[in-house]
Amino acid sequence: MDDARIYIGDNVMLGPNVSLMATNHPLIAAERTSMRYPDGHVSMSEYAEDIHIGNDVWIAANAVVLGGVTIGDGAVIGA
């Protein structure tokens, strides 16, 4: 989901099925559905935050990295 910037450092390894999900929705239901139109149509609100991945990082299979996360140099992220 690419509604925000994703910064990836040098020598980063991504396992299969890794998801970088910069886009998210509000947790409070009333905020998610607050965009109501006069014709009755409801649009879901969303927001996006950057993801920063440092150098020499390994993100293992099936991990999900959410928006607003910063992963430091040399980190290993597992499921």
- Which whole-number Å values give the CA distances from 46 to 5, 21, 25, 26, in the listed order? 15, 12, 4, 7
Please state, in angstroms and rounded to a whole number, the distance separating the CA atoms of residues 1 and 73.
Answer: 23
Per the residue annotation, which of 5, 17, 25, 36 is the catalytic one? 25
Told to judge if 25 belongs to the known catalytic residues of this protein, a careful annotator would answer yes
- The residues assigned a catalytic role are 25
